[in-house]
Structure 1
């Protein structure tokens, strides 16, 4: 999970990192809110594309593609959350903020349940602005995110899982499922990570 976090934030071949994605959209749209909307739309498209490719081969291909689908989706989603955090004035190199970003991947509904059960102590916003970094919390969040994403990508719904295993049809279902999940996470991250300071037009925070 930490390696995926670094890939999404720092970038991989052919895909610049979260800060570059944030700055690019800010330069195009001129305001933080419009840039965030564009970031979400862009990453919904990216996640849908990789969801299609990972599931298009049906059940035999899924044995190989599932780990790739999980990693690919995580990179896209953490890049999106990182871009949103950057636009809102957070230092995404800060380990506290990175823990908060991983928490956003759980989504709002699941996060509320985990907080109510005592599995997690508080919200991403509180973690991002905490006085100190908590390595134990970071580990627990990483483990939980991997479990939750594996369940989503693998398909805990029986009918959905069977549909994803049909060649070609599975690609379309995978695209929709991953795209919808990414949009939900983007909307949650944008509402949770409230603005900390102004962001200069076209430039990352100082």
Structure 2
């Protein structure tokens, strides 16, 4: 599977859902309803719930069918990326972003690489001094999106290929599973908070935000 196909798979699963993973819009609407239509509480609820969900060893098994897919990374990493993308997509949806647009899909993927986002933005010529809003995201040209996707894909493949935790899991299966679950939870939590900060709730040019619905 090529890097671009892997990225497409991650963001498609993140938005549309897969197996036990519900679509991002449903996740957003369910949490919004449970939080009395308070968008910020719903976002925090999603991050908290998903962090706990990721930190359970049953998630990879529950996301049935991953092992049979022609993915270029281990199923455990694919499941973490999919869950993180689903979390970020739900947050973007709550903030009123069009999660089906190419630009927002790319920004959802960007939330998966944490601190590396700053470097990628800089190389892409995106001014981080400017507030990231729906209007700004919509102006990112297709050529820039392609370059960003390539860099994101490289970072995700590199992360999946790191040896430390993988080797630990091979040597000590039980301890490795516990360590892996801890890092999965921390990873999804960081991605969720990155999405919360990245997808701005304030855009003077666009009042169509579910937060204030």
Residue of structure 2 equivalent to 1:34 = 41
Q: Write the mapping of 1:125-204 to structure 2, written as runs, cut at 5 A.
A: 125=132, 129-132=136-139, 134-155=141-162, 158=164, 160-165=165-170, 166-195=172-201, 196=203, 197=207, 198-199=209-210
Q: Which runs of 5+ in 1 are unaligned?
A: 55-63
Structure 1 Cα separation of the partners of residues 183 and 138 of structure 2:
37
Q: Please tell me whether the aligned partners of residues 80 and 184 of structure 2 are also in contact (alpha carbons under 8 angstroms).
A: yes
Q: Please tell me whether the aligned partners of residues 51 and 188 of structure 2 are also in contact (alpha carbons under 8 angstroms).
A: yes
How does the TM-score come out when normalised to structure 1? 0.77
How does the TM-score come out when normalised to structure 2? 0.75
Residue of structure 1 equivalent to 2:109 = 102
Q: Which runs of 5+ in 2 are unaligned?
A: 1-6, 62-70
Residue correspondences, number = 188
Structure 1 Cα separation of the partners of residues 72 and 108 of structure 2:
25
Provide the secondary structure at the position in 2 that maps to 1:25.
Answer: helix
Alpha-carbon deviations, 1:93-130, whole Å to 9, x = none?
121111111112111x22123344x2x33259368734
Matched, 1:5 2:11: yes
**RMSD (Å) for aligned C-alpha atoms:** 2.9
